[in-house]
Amino acid sequence: MIRLPRQETKLMVAIHGWSGIVLGLLLYAVVLTGMTAVFAKEINTWSSGHVAQKSAFERPIDDSLQALAARTPAEFHEAVDVFEIADGNLGLFFHLHEAAPSGEVIERGVYYEVDSAGDVVREKRGIGEEVFGPSNDDALSHFLIDTHVQLHVPEPWGLLLTGILGLAMLVAAVSGLLIHRHLFKDIFTLRRKASPVLVNRDRHSVAGTWSLPFAFILAFTGSFFSFYGTVGVPIVAMAAFGGDEQAFDDAVSVKPEKPDSRPHLTGTVNQIIADARARTGALPTFVLVERFGRADAQVTTYQDPEPGSIEPLTLVYNGATGAYERTTPSIGAKPSLGGTLTAIMEPLHFGNFAGVASKAVWYGLGFAMCYVTLTGLRLWLVRRRESIPTLAWLERAVTVIGFGLPLALLTAAVGFLCAVPLGSAVVWTPAAFLIGSAISIVAGVALPTHALLVTVHKFAIGGLLLGLPLIRLATGGPGWTSALMARQPMIVAIDIALILSGVWLLIRMITAQRSDNTAPVSLQPAE
């Protein structure tokens, strides 16, 4: 039980309400797109119909590395990023590091995409953010991630905005915790047969209380990601290295004791990947080759956390001989508490430390956070409906964003599925999102009653959920038998999840009492 004096309780209620109402809709957008982005990889497999049965890291890589190195200017041999992309293709980015006028370290080089036959299907030159843009196959997953990370606002402002939203979530979580007079009782209190006032208040309190630990984790790790590169690194670089971020990076990285620039064949990556797999039980998620073609070449493999752990593994090998040298922290030159905490931020934020199971839990908790945000906004608004009638526009805005955002994301998926066969998914994915948003906004202005606005949105969302699997099949996606034979059960699982969600929503809408949609709902803020 948490007891605060009456005045402090009123202050916490005010802080809780205003922190939610001022940034609540943006916070809802970040959380909703974040819970979707948790399954970005799986959504990419589902939407683009990828049925590759073999990982790119299971195929020979050295020959492609050597061939591409021969056609790439030597200045870009400073480092090579190697990673798996859509449909089992391999991405290789030969690059150097240089300082921008602002002091920020950027990567400039040549990016190649290699298919399973070893042929180059894409080549692009430029800095990292230019060459790693969305492609036709991954436009949907890229759009979801970019929406979550920075709301499509240009850098660094988008990251700063999502960081501020993370701090707002912390404020709402802490103030929500303090205003609960009976915290442990609220976890289990759900009076289904009580008055609508108590039922809706109980639902908000139960969902909010159960998701409090997740809210703390999500808010803190999200703010960390947003501020780490935009604020943290520049401040440290300015304070200790005169603003030179490259010097900062060199200080926290392990460099060879004796640089040796003599030419030497770097042809041990296949051997290194096999050894890393034997040591950790899994293929790497990313491979970095530094000083390619030199005697002091170094290869680093990045691995998912081992079972029972949430900290990713980083294995370092001698690039010339392929010999294993050490396991290093993900951050810093030597193990430290700060380095460990930094390393676990990513798996804690995205919930990918235990595969699909942990992602599913994070998705469910994200859904609860969205529910808490929307019901909290409605509780705040309805209590003030009579005293401030002009807030009716804000109630409609909450509905338009609350239901319009998932509607727009679904229309983006429709646009992607229809445009992939035409090779124009990069254009039509965001365009379809804007079309869905525009339809929702027009409905919010044109429909005569708020109840009708809610009904139309629910019906549209339910119809799209049911229709997406059919659209995927109609546009050339693999059927369930083909997907299962190709060992891609995630395609089937997402289809089933969409169908069940659509059926649940439509049945709930049809069987709900008409009075819930036509009569004003008396809600009060949680106490």
CA atoms within 13 A on the CB side of 472: 29
For residues 361 and 498, state if they share a domain: yes
DSSP assignment string, 387-436: T-GGGHHHHHHHHHHHHHHHHHHHHHHHHHHHHGGGT-HHHHHHHHHHHH
Secondary structure letter of residue 86 according to DSSP = G
For residues 368 and 429, state if they share a domain: yes
For residues 432 and 450, state if they share a domain: yes
SS (H, E, C) 200-222: HHHHHHHHHHHCHHHHHHHHHHH
Amino acid 168: pLDDT: 74
Establish if 368 belongs to a structural domain: yes
For residues 380 and 436, state if they share a domain: yes
Establish if 481 belongs to a structural domain: yes
Question: The sheet that has 324-328: what strands, in order across it?
Answer: 120-127, 105-114, 90-99, 79-84, 286-290, 298-303, 313-318, 324-328
Is residue 527 within 8 Å of 201, Cβ to Cβ?
yes
Amino acid 488: pLDDT: 85
For residues 365 and 438, state if they share a domain: yes
pLDDT in tens, 443-456: 999 999 888 999 99
Find how far residue 2's CA is from the centre of its chain.
Answer: 34
Amino acid 261: pLDDT: 85
87: containing domain: 56-136
Amino acid 428: pLDDT: 95
Amino acid 269: pLDDT: 93
For residues 61 and 113, state if they share a domain: yes
For residues 362 and 497, state if they share a domain: yes
Establish if 110 belongs to a structural domain: yes
- Residue from 171, 145, 206, 207 nearest 18 by CA: 171
For residues 392 and 507, state if they share a domain: yes
For residues 18 and 83, state if they share a domain: no
For residues 443 and 511, state if they share a domain: yes
For residues 93 and 207, state if they share a domain: no
For residues 18 and 89, state if they share a domain: no
* Domain-ending residue, one of 136, 163, 196: 136
Tell me how many domains the chain contains: 2
Establish if 424 belongs to a structural domain: yes
What parts of the chain have a pLDDT lower than 50? Answer: 1, 517-527
Distance CA 124, CA 113 (A): 9
Distance CA 148, CA 42 (A): 16
Is residue 466 within 8 Å of 503, Cβ to Cβ?
yes
